[in-house]
Amino acid sequence: MSRVAVMGTGSWGTTFAMVLADSGAKVTMWGRRAEVCAEIAEEHRNPQYLPGLELPATITANPDPAVALEGADIVVLAVPSQTLRTNLSAWKPFIGSSAVTVSLMKGVEKGTLRRMSEVIGEVLEIGPERNTVVSGPNLATEIAARQPTATVVACTDHNTAELVAAACSAPYFRPYTNHDVIGVELSGAVKNVIALAVGMVEGMGLGDNSKASIITRGLAEITRLGVSLGAEPATFAGLAGMGDLVATCASPLSRNRTFGVHLGQGMSVDETVAITNQTAEGVKSAGAILGLAKAHGVDMPIAEAVTGVVSGELPLSELAQSLLSRRRKSEFA
Ligand SMILES: NC(=O)C1=CN([C@@H]2O[C@H](COP(=O)(O)OP(=O)(O)OC[C@H]3O[C@@H](n4cnc5c(N)ncnc54)[C@H](O)[C@@H]3O)[C@@H](O)[C@H]2O)C=CC1
Ligand SMILES: O=C(CO)COP(=O)(O)O
């Protein structure tokens, strides 16, 4: 039986802990708020993030990272991307020398432009054979209701990917393995930016043709960036690529899409931040993703437009025109 530490008691960390427990793993969670840990450990619920959900009674939780990480073979990281480096540096002394890491996070670090698995490798000084990423069409609220879905466990080492896939194979949760860490991870981060754009389109009252155009050209952007960074094109047609893009851009449950809807309806970024109590990673990662694209000479007009709107440099009323007035080109150039 795997002994798993889940670091983060937000909506995905908690739901993934349930998946692991339903798969037979022994799970201890860490959360920064003692009262949330107590609710999980003693009342088997986390009402702020997942109202109505009854968690498996086997899940424990503790606000002390040393306790949560003690003896863990698998360490799952589920905090907001921009906080990972600081948190992980503090947790490093308590992480076992042979533990496998799992990143659930879908962001890119501001400043360094690093993917989350790169931050993990750097901070913990571990090789790629112990460093995995789980990403796919995984809206936490649906999975918390034990609705069926699939996902991707990515690692350059097949045995490690298999180990993590076995630990999170529940009756309603089917993991596939993939060795393309870059492609899987970038897909998850960039789709959040595309979902922001789709939300803006929705909020402005535009229809499905506009949304489908953004989703499809968004996938073209994600693929272009990924391939230029060494990812495999096939990954972007898979669950972590198209699968997650479709789920996130279509679903009112998506925090990124919802954030975009509010902007499209005329709210400012600050007003939208004030009413958003969960993590919309695309808002903070958009600029870093654009930075990555620029550093590699990759054209990403949708990411550029979203970054412009979020930073206040592009008026929302000019979003559509900024994309439609570009020079005509071949679809697959
Ligand atoms: N919720 C979802 O449906 C999915 C989320 N993800 C990704 O999982 C990651 C975590 O997201 P969620 O759990 O959904 O977020 P959330 O907003 O539901 O929860 C975030 C958690 O991190 C904690 N937190 C906030 N700031 C912190 C800090 N400075 N240090 C330590 N902890 C802090 C919060 O208290 C909360 O427990 C994100 O990268 C997200 O993109 C991936 C797939 C699905
Ligand atoms: O990553 C997700 C679904 O796979 C969740 O998307 P949001 O963070 O936009 O809610």
DSSP string, 142-194: HHHTT--EEEEEE-SSHHHHHHHHHHT-BTTEEEEEES-HHHHHHHHHHHHHH
The answer to whether 3-179 and 182-324 have equal CATH topology is: no
pLDDT of 176 reads: 98
What is this model's ipTM?
0.99
Instruction: Return the domain boundaries, the chain.
Output: 3-179, 182-324
pLDDT of 169 reads: 98
10-27 average pLDDT score:
98
Helices 208-228 and 181-203: crossing angle in degrees, nearest 10, is 160
What tens digit of pLDDT does each residue of 109-129 get? Answer: 999 999 999 999 999 999 999
What is the torsion angle, in degrees rounded to the nearest 10, for the CA atoms of residue 114, residue 115, residue 117 and residue 118?
Answer: -20
Tokens read off for 95: 């992480």
Cα separation of the two ends of the chain: 49
* Fold exhibited by the domain 182-324: N-(1-d-carboxylethyl)-l-norvaline Dehydrogenase; domain 2 (1.10.1040)
pLDDT of 208 reads: 97
190-194 average pLDDT score:
98
Q: Which atom of ligand 2 is nearest to the CA of 106?
A: 1
* pTM confidence score: 0.98
The CA angle 43-46-48, to the nearest 5 degrees, is 135
Q: Is the CB of 12 under 6 A from ligand 1?
A: yes
pLDDT of 333 reads: 84
pLDDT band at 319 (very low <50, low <70, confident <90, very high): very high
198-224 average pLDDT score:
98
Residue nearest (by alpha carbon) to ligand 1 atom 32? 79
Decide if pLDDT at 131 tops 90.
yes
Residues above pLDDT 70, as percent of the chain: 100
pLDDT of 298 reads: 98
The CA angle 142-77-45, to the nearest 5 degrees, is 50
Three-state secondary structure call for residue 274 = helix
What tens digit of pLDDT does each residue of 84-93 get? Answer: 999 999 999 9
- CA 328 to centroid of ligand 1, rounded, Å: 40
What tens digit of pLDDT does each residue of 238-275 get? Answer: 999 999 999 999 999 999 999 999 999 999 999 999 99
Residue with tokens 């060494």: 230
Residue nearest (by alpha carbon) to ligand 1 atom 16? 10
Q: Is the CB of 255 under 6 A from ligand 2?
A: yes
Domain 3-179 CATH superfamily: NAD(P)-binding Rossmann-like Domain (3.40.50.720)
